[in-house]
């Protein structure tokens, strides 16, 4: 069970080799985590993440393989992960995502579809199954990683941004639908984070490391706020950016 | 039958369960047979997750009522859902008082047994379970009449057993004779912790009731400044016009959730300062009503809302009498870490009951209210757990919302004895709660 500070004991991570999820798990394992099930597409990376979770204090770890390009496997992936936990699940982190190379995708219908599948359709399918299971359990928490790119989609990553925007909005409605069920959904909107997903990207203002994101998440879980911004100041930065006239927005973002 | 979101008094970690309100023992037995996971709930004054069960069945005991006439020896049989408030309303006019009362009247007798609650008289009279002569317990294997001589293992597993042996329907206990509804109170102020602790160690035996309020937010020389109040029931000769009036209902209430930041380091410091200054330096024999002395917070309904939506945790530990240093160290750690905490309650415990999960042990106990919010609070409390554990002490389950399961066995070394009694009547571990799941009390 989760404790009064939002520290979980049993955790499922969908997108288990995500660097952000890994950094969050380090902190949660050091606090109260007992069992972790990591689901992802690369067994080697999952094993490494599981070993790290044990090193930081988890007693029991397991892994589940799936490919997020096929939303048909989402329900099975969730079921298998819950069965491997074998107890109430306190927290599910949805960290599935693909940034990719916008220039390669934007003129290719097949690749464009794949971006939407991985970043939106698969997570949406998984969330439906998560909702069903957690509501029956009467408790639990879902943390969905979207992005500040979802707040206002920018030219250089608009496919990724659009998919994340879809997921972010879906989560807003889902969170409302969970009121009174004992289940809570929180959205993590990080800015640019130094990780393998962003290797090669130049640091833009407010770029953070994964550890800082994890710190913001741990605080966010304790406070139960709907949207966790990382770094927190982006809440205000994007309030301004969101309202900029389009020509200025493009100028700012294309720099 | 309804689905309800339930939490403890601290309002952290709510979960949703099916809630039923049985009317009698047969109803309770039917409910137990109908669900794979069950826990009883009284008035929800446990601070954490003791009386909730996500996805399971929660049995609200409010309709398991009824109070028998009190016999000449003070023996009374009450429904497990009767509150201390109801019992006092009935008993005080007849010259009887509950043998043990916690800091609120808004607990049920069933809950008082399940948590084996203690009061200001623990150093003399022990905890609630010590005054219970017989109980009726509905278990997954059927109903039992239990007492210290009949199914004693099950009786003591139920005293302090956090509801994990079954659902109590009636409790028979021995009340205390009183002549008036007043308490004669001696109040003393102390500038530091050493002063109050030595006064308590040397002088508590002369009083039936004793408790100290400690300021955990002052540092330096004034660290742990305290107000010690001790008293005894007033006899007819002690007061001019002896009366026997029951408790009054609360006159104030908190109608909505306060903003989460209302209770912050500054506002709490100001409150603590006012509280400390409002106490007399030294006053002897002041007559106070039973309510004022025992249940000051009952005057304000829903006061837990003052902590806002995030809620608060209460941290209560006890350590053996030889480990008084641990109390000082704990308060030093809290005051130096600057996490805000309201006036803490310090008290000496006498002998414990034979209950394997009962909390009190002879020595000291300290309880503090801490608003959820400061990022360092979880870590500070984990550090305090270590200090308590190495001093041979433990944490009170009825207050807990954050202990780690790894520490439970060391704090409660007789857990297996409890499980043996539980397994006899609940082999499938049907009786479970969010607390029991979190602390692995009934297996991982």
> Which of A32, A88, A181 shows the shortest C-beta gap to B404?
A32
Look at residue A228 and give its three-state secondary structure: strand
pLDDT in tens, A62-92: 999 999 999 999 999 999 999 999 999 999 9
- Selected for mutation to probe chain B from A1, A33, A58 (highest B CB count within 10 Å) is A1
How is domain A10-254 classified at the CATH fold level?
Rossmann fold (3.40.50)
Residue B71 to residue B115: CA distance in whole angstroms: 26
pLDDT in tens, A202-249: 778 889 999 999 999 999 998 889 999 999 999 999 999 999 999 999
Are B387 and B328 in contact by the 8 Å Cβ rule? The answer is no
Residues 6+ apart with CB under 8 A from A142: A91, A92, A94, A127, A130, A134, A183, A184, A185, A186
Per-residue confidence (pLDDT) for residue A255, from 0 to 100: 63
Bridge-based pairing of strands A60-65 and A35-40 is parallel
Contacts of B309 in chain A (CB under 8 A): 224
Residue B105 to residue B87: CA distance in whole angstroms: 9
Per-residue confidence (pLDDT) for residue B182, from 0 to 100: 96
- Give the count of Cβ contacts less than 8 A between chain A and B: 84
Residue B175 to residue A146: CA distance in whole angstroms: 61
Whether A7 sits inside 8 A of B378 (CB atoms) is yes
Whose tokens are 């409002």? That residue is: B278
Per-residue confidence (pLDDT) for residue B359, from 0 to 100: 98
Residue A133 to residue A119: CA distance in whole angstroms: 22
Distance of CA B390 to the CA centre of its chain: 24
pLDDT in tens, A10-35: 999 999 999 999 999 999 999 999 99
> Which of B55, B309, B372 shows the shortest C-beta gap to A4?
B372
Whether B13 sits inside 8 A of A139 (CB atoms) is yes
User: Rounded to the nearest 5 degrees, what angle is found at the Cα of B228, between the Cα atoms of B222 and B231?
Assistant: 175
Are B181 and B96 in contact by the 8 Å Cβ rule? The answer is no
CATH of domain B182-402: 3.30.70.2520
> Which of A3, A183, A224 shows the shortest C-beta gap to B438?
A3
| Nearest-by-CA chain A residue for B309 | A223
> Which of B48, B260, B405 shows the shortest C-beta gap to A4?
B48
Residue B181 to residue B291: CA distance in whole angstroms: 9
Residues 6+ apart with CB under 8 A from B7: B13, B14, B15, B44, B49, B52, B311
Bridge-based pairing of strands B312-320 and B394-395 is antiparallel
CA distances (Å), A215 to each of A53, A150, A211, A222, B303, in order? 16, 21, 6, 11, 32
Q: How is chain B split into domains, by residue range?
A: 75-178, 182-402
Give strand pairing partners of B83: B108
* Percent of chain A at pLDDT exceeding 70: 100
φ, ψ for residue B271 (rounded to 5)? -60, -50
* Percent of chain A at pLDDT exceeding 90: 86
Cis omega (within 30 of 0) on the bond before A231? Answer: yes
Q: Active-site residue among A56, A105, A158, A160?
A: A160
Look at residue B314 and give its three-state secondary structure: strand
Look at residue B38 and give its three-state secondary structure: strand
- Looking at every residue in chain A, the average pLDDT score rounds to 94
Per-residue confidence (pLDDT) for residue A105, from 0 to 100: 86
Dihedral sign (CA B181, B186, B191, B196): negative
Per-residue confidence (pLDDT) for residue B422, from 0 to 100: 98
Q: What pTM, to 2 d.p., does this model score?
A: 0.93
Whether A3 sits inside 8 A of B402 (CB atoms) is yes
Helix-helix angle B324-337:B193-203, to 10 degrees = 150
Torsion of CA B286, B288, B293, B294, to 10 degrees: 140
Bin B163: left if φ > 0, else alpha if -120 < ψ < 50, else beta: left
A160 is catalytic: yes
Whether B378 sits inside 8 A of A5 (CB atoms) is yes
Euclidean distance between the first and the last CA atom of chain B, given in angstroms as a whole number: 29
CA distances (Å), B130 to each of B112, B159, B160, B356, in order? 12, 9, 11, 13
Contacts of A1 in chain B (CB under 8 A): 13, 49, 54, 434-435, 437-438
Whether A180 sits inside 8 A of B313 (CB atoms) is no
Residue B137 to residue B166: CA distance in whole angstroms: 6
| Selection from A141, A137, A133 nearest residue A13 by Cα | A141
Residues 6+ apart with CB under 8 A from A132: none
Contacts of B403 in chain A (CB under 8 A): 3
How many Å lie between the alpha carbon of A1 and the closest alpha carbon of chain B?
A: 5
How would you write the pLDDT of chain B (444 residues) with one tens digit per residue? Answer: 789 999 999 999 999 999 999 999 999 999 999 999 999 999 999 999 999 999 999 999 999 999 999 999 999 999 999 999 999 999 999 999 999 999 999 999 999 999 999 999 999 999 999 999 999 999 999 999 999 999 999 999 999 999 999 999 999 999 999 999 999 999 999 999 999 999 999 999 999 999 999 998 888 778 889 999 999 999 999 998 999 999 988 888 888 888 877 888 888 888 888 888 888 888 899 999 999 999 988 888 888 888 888 899 999 999 999 999 999 999 999 888 888 887 799 999 999 999 999 999 999 999 999 999 888 999 999 999 999 999 999 999 999 999 999 999 999 999 999 999 999 999 999 999 999 999 999 976
Q: Which helix (H) or strand (E) holds B230?
A: strand B226-233
Residues 6+ apart with CB under 8 A from A185: A141, A142, A143, A144, A171, A174, A175, A178
Q: How many CA atoms lie within 13 A of A181 on its CB side?
A: 20
How many Å lie between the alpha carbon of A183 and the closest alpha carbon of chain B?
A: 8
Residues 6+ apart with CB under 8 A from B26: none
Contacts of B385 in chain A (CB under 8 A): none
Whether B15 sits inside 8 A of A182 (CB atoms) is yes
- From the candidate CATH numbers 3.40.50.280, 3.40.50.300, 3.40.50.720, 3.30.465.10, the one assigned to the domain spanning B75-178: 3.30.465.10
Look at residue B241 and give its three-state secondary structure: coil
Chain B residues with a Cβ under 8 Å from any Cβ in chain A: 3, 5, 10, 12-17, 48-49, 53-56, 260, 309-311, 313, 372-373, 375, 377-378, 401-405, 434-435, 437-438, 444
ipTM of the assembly? 0.88
Residue B18 to residue B3: CA distance in whole angstroms: 5
Whether A4 sits inside 8 A of B12 (CB atoms) is yes
- Selected for mutation to probe chain B from A138, A141, A224 (highest B CB count within 10 Å) is A138
> Which of B54, B310, B401 shows the shortest C-beta gap to A3?
B401
Are A242 and A189 in contact by the 8 Å Cβ rule? The answer is no
Residue B156 to residue B356: CA distance in whole angstroms: 7
Per-residue confidence (pLDDT) for residue A81, from 0 to 100: 98
Give strand ranges (E) for B302-355: 312-320, 344-349
């Amino acid at each position: 069970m989760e404790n009064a500070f939002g520290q979980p004991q049993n955790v499922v991570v969908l997108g288990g080799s995500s660097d952000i999820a890994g950094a969050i798990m380090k902190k949660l394992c050091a606090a109260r985590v007992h069992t972790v099930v990591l689901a992802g597409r690369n067994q080697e990376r999952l094993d490494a993440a599981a070993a790290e979770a044990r090193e930081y204090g988890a007693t029991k770890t397991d892994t589940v393989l799936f490919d997020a390009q096929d939303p048909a496997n989402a329900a099975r992936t969730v079921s298998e992960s819950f069965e491997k936990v074998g107890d109430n699940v306190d927290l599910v982190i949805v960290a599935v995502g693909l940034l990719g190379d916008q220039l390669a995708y934007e003129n290719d219908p097949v690749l464009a579809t794949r971006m939407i599948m991985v970043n939106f359709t698969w997570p949406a399918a998984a969330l439906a199954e998560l909702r069903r299971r957690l509501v029956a359990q009467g408790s639990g928490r879902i943390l969905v990683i979207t992005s500040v790119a979802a707040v206002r989609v920018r030219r250089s990553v608009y496919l990724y941004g659009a998919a994340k925007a879809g997921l972010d909005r879906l989560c807003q409605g889902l969170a409302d639908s969970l009121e009174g069920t004992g289940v809570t959904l929180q959205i993590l909107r990080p800015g640019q984070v130094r990780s393998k997903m962003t290797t090669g990207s130049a640091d833009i203002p407010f770029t953070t490391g994964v550890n800082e994101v994890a710190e913001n998440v741990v605080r966010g879980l304790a406070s139960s706020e709907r949207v966790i911004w990382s770094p927190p100041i982006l809440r205000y930065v994007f309030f301004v950016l969101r309202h900029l006239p389009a020509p200025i927005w493009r100028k700012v973002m294309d720099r | 039958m309804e689905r309800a979101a339930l939490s403890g008094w601290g309002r952290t970690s709510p979960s949703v369960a099916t809630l039923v309100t049985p009317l009698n023992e047969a109803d309770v037995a039917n409910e137990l047979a109908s669900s794979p996971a069950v826990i009883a709930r009284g008035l929800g004054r446990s601070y954490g997750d003791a009386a909730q069960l996500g996805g399971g069945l929660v049995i609200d005991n409010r309709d398991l009522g009824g109070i028998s006439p009190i016999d000449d020896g003070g023996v009374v049989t009450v429904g497990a859902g009767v509150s201390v408030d109801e019992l006092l309303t009935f008993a005080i006019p007849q010259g009887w008082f509950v043998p043990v009362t916690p800091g609120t009247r808004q607990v049920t007798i069933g809950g008082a047994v399940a948590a084996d609650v203690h009061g200001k008289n623990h150093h003399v009279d022990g905890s609630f379970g010590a005054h219970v002569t017989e109980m009726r317990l509905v278990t997954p294997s059927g109903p039992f009449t239990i007492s210290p001589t009949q199914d004693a293992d099950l009786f003591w597993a139920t005293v302090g057993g956090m509801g994990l042996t079954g659902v109590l329907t009636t409790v028979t206990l021995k009340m205390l004779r009183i002549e008036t509804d007043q308490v004669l109170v001696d109040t003393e102020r102390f500038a530091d912790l050493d002063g109050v602790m030595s006064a308590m160690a040397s002088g508590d035996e002369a009083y039936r009731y004793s408790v100290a309020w400690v300021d955990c937010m002052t540092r330096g020389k004034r660290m742990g400044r305290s107000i010690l109040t001790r008293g005894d029931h007033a006899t007819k000769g002690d007061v001019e016009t002896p009366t026997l009036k029951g408790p009054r209902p609360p006159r104030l209430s908190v109608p909505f959730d306060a903003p989460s930041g209302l209770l912050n380091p500054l506002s709490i410091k100001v409150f603590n300062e006012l509280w400390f200054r409002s106490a007399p330096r030294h006053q002897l024999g002041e007559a106070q009503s039973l309510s004022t002395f025992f249940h000051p917070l009952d005057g304000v309904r829903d006061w837990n809302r003052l902590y806002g939506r995030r809620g608060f945790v209460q941290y209560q530990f006890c350590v053996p009498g030889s480990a008084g240093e641990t109390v000082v160290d704990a308060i030093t750690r809290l005051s130096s870490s600057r996490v805000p905490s309201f006036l803490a309650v310090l008290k000496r415990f006498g002998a414990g009951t034979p209950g394997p999960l009962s909390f009190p042990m002879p020595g000291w106990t300290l309880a503090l209210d801490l608003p959820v919010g400061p990022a360092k609070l979880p870590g500070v409390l984990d550090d305090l757990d270590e200090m308590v554990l190495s001093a041979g002490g433990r944490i009170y389950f009825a207050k807990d919302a954050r202990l780690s399961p790894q520490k439970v066995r060391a704090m409660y070394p007789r857990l297996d004895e409890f499980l043996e009694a539980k397994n006899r009547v609940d082999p499938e571990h049907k009786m479970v709660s969010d607390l029991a799941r979190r602390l692995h009390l009934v297996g991982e």
